[in-house]
Chain A
Amino acid sequence: MMDIRPVSETALIIQLGDHIDTQLAVKIGGLADHIRTRFASELIEVIPSYTTIYIQYHPLKTDFMALASRLQGLITAFFLSGDQGNSSPEVSKIITIPVYYSPETGPDLSEIAQLHNCTVQEVIQIHSQSTYIVCAIGFSPGFAFLGSVAPTIATPRKIEPRKMLPAGSVGIAGQQTAVYPTDSPGGWQIIGNCPVSLIDFARTPMSPFSVGLSVQFQPISRDEFFQLGGTLWSHWKS
């Protein structure tokens, strides 16, 4: 499936699927990098997500018709080449995120366990044994939507979002999981905290995540959490 449609005077969107599929996310990540490199001088933003690639272009350097026909050719060639995103050595890399899973850093951990009739230890085990794919980045800088959480611990968002969460909070929303890179409001179910900073505006890239990469969470002890610079958040409410 491929459909290229205008969005505004300076933007178009490429639709590559109609349902969430982590394998598609890997392809989309590779394709977005490819497009960004090939058309660097004409494009302003290339934003991949679950099933789409959004492109903002410079209106004096190209227009919808010209860009769409060149993209069509490039995308067809990309999928025919069989690389499908594996051309980048980055794709095979797995990012490991240390997490201190505990009620003191993850106030929703016990509730999730109760909801799924299992122990807290089982929730931790299930969450940390899967490998996740970065399907999209957005909401806030460096916030990576990771799929997919095992159905045995998938949990809907909180009805009332929290006004503030500490940076590093690891959460679950439906079959997605993510780490909040900065202090932020948020409605995800929080199960632990990553003490290592996942964002640095002075660094390029500023975040370790990009669409299509693999991520795994590694449980750490309370001591390791503090050794890595973790601090406890005293403002949890409800």
Chain B
Amino acid sequence: MLTQLQDTGRTGMGHQGLTQGGPMDLHAYCWANYLLGNRMGCSQLEIMGGQTKLLAHQAVTLALTGADLRARVNSQPVDGWQTIHLNKGDTLSFQFPKKGLRAYLAIPGGFAAPAVFGSVATVVRDGVGGLGTAGGRSCLIGIGDFLESTSHQLFRPEINCTVPARYVPDYGLEIRLNLIESYQARAFSEDSRKSLFETSFTLSSNSDRMGYRLDGAAIIPPFSGVISEGIALGAVQIPENGQPIILMRDHQTLGGYPKFGCVAQLDLNRLAQAVPGTTIRFQPISLQAAGKKLTSFYSFFNL
């Protein structure tokens, strides 16, 4: 439905208004590169919603992680979270999602594409990234596009790896998001804080790579807006209608809504796999505890 090229994102350009982008599910993305021994910056396909078919023009070793999109090699079902070998002429196809929303497909060396400010990450709203050049044209991967690797060694029969089961998330029903209360949280009333932490929300279908909207008890913002300021990944904005918006990978660089805090970054990976209607609850986490989890993730994957 929506296949795009992603790497770890276009960083250092926020002061010019450029969105970072990057994989919606960084956990699944990192494992796909890890399985192949790739650098973490090697670009992959983020396949959202399935209904995609790829043809191998030559023998190739792949790593597939993330959502269960009922992948098949030719007509045979294959499991994810492992490496897969394709012969020349094989097809790899994806159907409607069984669990989760986005699968990640890595190849040795990553996909070749022209970098824009050091990254091939697709940000449709900014008109950058993907296979195309900057400006105006669609940067999604479409029918007939030909994907090449940056490596000449595409077929690696010696690599047969599977992600250990304890690192394979269950993209099940309810989601708990750890929330770091930040500097504007104190301005919210105790009732608002209670509503946020003690009631559940559902993920709205009006959600995209920029922000995930939640439906539930209205959280009354303490003021209607702040002077526009730089805004973080995972920020929980409370607009005037009281329905929280969680900022995802393609979020804008500046924002003016009051913010309750930030969702711990590792929890966004799981959120990125949630389908509309999923139940979502918040629980508080300290900055230190969230920081510890994130640094061990960064260390493990050498990010």
* A interface residues (Cβ-Cβ under 8 A, vs B): 5-11, 13, 19-20, 32, 36, 44-56, 59-60, 63-64, 136-143, 145, 182-183, 201-202, 204-207, 209-211
Contact = CB atoms under 8 A, between A and B. Distances in A.
B228 A136 contact: yes
B231 A54 contact: yes
A230 B208 CA distance: 34
Nearest to A140: B17
B254 interface: yes
Please provide the 3 A-B residue pairs with the shortest distance between their CB atoms, ordered closest to farther: A54-B230, A138-B254, A201-B134
Contacts of A20: 227
Contacts of B135: 182, 201
A137 B15 contact: yes
Interface string B134-152: 1110000000000000000
B295 A60 contact: yes
B265 A8 contact: yes
B235 interface: yes
B206 interface: no
Interface residues of B, number: 44
A8 B234 CA distance: 8
A49 B254 contact: yes
13 contacts: A6-B180, A7-B182, A10-B233, A13-B229, A45-B20, A46-B15, A54-B229, A56-B232, A136-B254, A141-B128, A142-B16, A182-B127, A206-B18
Nearest to A181: B17
Nearest to B20: A45
B199 to A, nearest CB: 23
Contacts of B224: none
Contact of B15 (A51, A183, A202, A210): A210
Contacts of A6: 180, 182-183, 287
